[in-house]
Structure 1
């Protein structure tokens, strides 16, 4: 199942809700484009909701790192929320849990980013 996503802005924070498999197909450049647009509008925080992501490939990890790099280069930050057990293990194996701030829920991330 390819990734589908929705994006919206809440409390000056860009929220990306991803569903399905994040494998860096055409959804990757689209997600990066949304983040670039957000930065141009002055948004400095991005929350990526992983609650409905079943699988992330190496290309999908690349998409997350690209988003993080773009935000940090603009003095912004990216938070990941609600990863499944499988995705949590992947973040630990790849040591991305040391690079990204990961929250259990979207609400926790929104409260932190205020």
Structure 2
């Protein structure tokens, strides 16, 4: 899995590509986000449009990230989950827990409303 991060307007944007299935990729993702949390960030987007496959470990990482941001008084929005991640979110009923946006602009707008 490949992870790209950028901070714009006080929001951490994370783009993932490949398979979200476990270590060491998930550990690198969590460490990358943790490094940015020191920047006083409270909001995050995670672009899942490039994720082909996600398993229970990957779902657990997304829940962990959501918990990190909500415990800081912030929020996380998933962007355009590909077919398999979308099905897994529905199967686990986590689509009711996560906010989902079609694109970065919509996600940023949702987060600005939360602020």
TM-score, normalized by the shorter chain, greater than 0.5: yes
Shift of 1:72: 1.1
In structure 2, distance between residues paired with 1:30 and 1:43: 18
Task: Please tell me whether the aligned partners of residues 54 and 84 of structure 2 are also in contact (alpha carbons under 8 angstroms).
Answer: no
**TM-score normalised by the chain length of structure 2:** 0.91
Task: Please tell me whether the aligned partners of residues 6 and 16 of structure 1 are also in contact (alpha carbons under 8 angstroms).
Answer: yes
Partner residue in 1 for 2:61: 63
Match of 2:29 among 28, 31, 34: 31
1:1-114 alignment runs, 5 A limit: 3-114=1-112
Task: Please tell me whether the aligned partners of residues 24 and 62 of structure 1 are also in contact (alpha carbons under 8 angstroms).
Answer: no
Shift of 1:85: 2.1
Q: Which runs of 4+ in 1 moved over 6 A?
A: none
In structure 1, distance between residues paired with 2:39 and 2:51: 27
Query: Structure 2 unaligned runs (5+)?
Result: none
RMSD of equivalent CA atoms: 1.1
Q: How many residue pairs get matched?
A: 112
**TM-score normalised by the chain length of structure 1:** 0.92
Query: Structure 1 unaligned runs (5+)?
Result: none
In structure 1, distance between residues paired with 2:38 and 2:72: 10
